[in-house]
Amino acid sequence: MAEGLLMVVSGPSGVGKGTVCRHLLQKNPELAMSVSMTTRSPRRGEEEGKSYFFTTRDTFVKLREEGAFLEWAQVYGDLYGTPRRFLEEQRDLGKDILLEIDTQGARQVKESYPRGVFVFLLPPSLAELKARIVKRGTESLDAMAKRLDFAREEMKSLDIYDYVVINDRVAEAAGRMSAILAAEKCAAGRNKNLIAKLLKGGTW
Ligand code: 5GP
């Protein structure tokens, strides 16, 4: 079985990570999206178990202490974490997984999955990022300012990422992410088992 691939996508709030990831999932039906748990309240249109598993701070902390998260972080005052179980189940099935998490979480994942593919989504400009956050209209003025400040900070520490993708247009950005996925799946280092199988006279 080919090794399942873990793709981690980060990027500043408002850059369009959710939309680009949805396009990427449509183009790559074999890719499974991990659903995070969060203590923040649902936004309009968000669905329990699809967008996030929404929970209380007490429950989150209890689960965290039980080791239920592969990684977790506090982002804009709320807690977010990647449930370990789903990831491990999919990994054992050889499935490819997509994680959409912040830079603090990505650093933790890099420790457990150094062969993961780390992609950072960038806006075409800071002005455009601000316009997108304002247009989304889900945050207070104070929260919007916090997110913009944090975006600048995040963009300064891209050392753990393998790729940067500019989200100018969603379809093009998702196309570039698909190309990254396809290339990474062909990496010789990920296909050692298959190469060994060929050498033994098997078929690809
Ligand atoms: P939002 O509240 O806008 O959905 O997400 C805020 C930030 O939290 C985004 O940068 C998003 O990538 C990040 N995030 C979402 N889920 C997780 C998670 O499970 N772990 C970590 N570390 N960050 C997450």
pTM metric for this prediction:
0.92
Do 151 and 126 touch, CB atoms closer than 8 A? yes
**Confidence check: pLDDT of 181 > 90:** yes
Residues contacting residue 137 through CB under 8 Å, at least 6 positions apart: none
- In this prediction, residue 2 carries a pLDDT of 61
Q: What is the pLDDT of residues 98-146, one digit of tens each?
A: 999 999 999 999 999 999 999 999 999 999 999 988 888 877 888 888 8
Q: pLDDT tens digits, residue range 65-90?
A: 999 999 999 998 999 999 999 998 88
Written as six digits, the tokens of 79 are: 């807690």
Decide: 104 in ligand 1 pocket, CB within 6 A: yes
Nearest ligand 1 atom, CA 36:
19
**Protein fold of 6-34+96-199:** Rossmann fold (3.40.50)
Residue whose CA is at the smallest distance from ligand 1 atom 3: 13
Domain assignments of the chain as residue spans, ordered by start: 6-34+96-199
Q: Is the CB of 75 under 6 A from ligand 1?
A: yes
- The dihedrals phi and psi of 99, each to the nearest 5 degrees, come to -115, 130
Residue 117 CA to ligand 1 centre (angstroms): 18
Q: Which whole-number Å values give the CA distances from 202 to 48, 95, 195, 196, in the listed order?
A: 45, 22, 9, 9
Closest-lying ligand 1 atom to the alpha carbon of residue 82:
19
**Per-residue pLDDT, 165:** 98
- Looking at the chain, the whole-number percentage of residues with pLDDT higher than 90 is 69
* CB 81 less than 6 A from any atom of ligand 1: yes
Q: Which atom of ligand 1 is nearest to the CA of 100?
A: 12
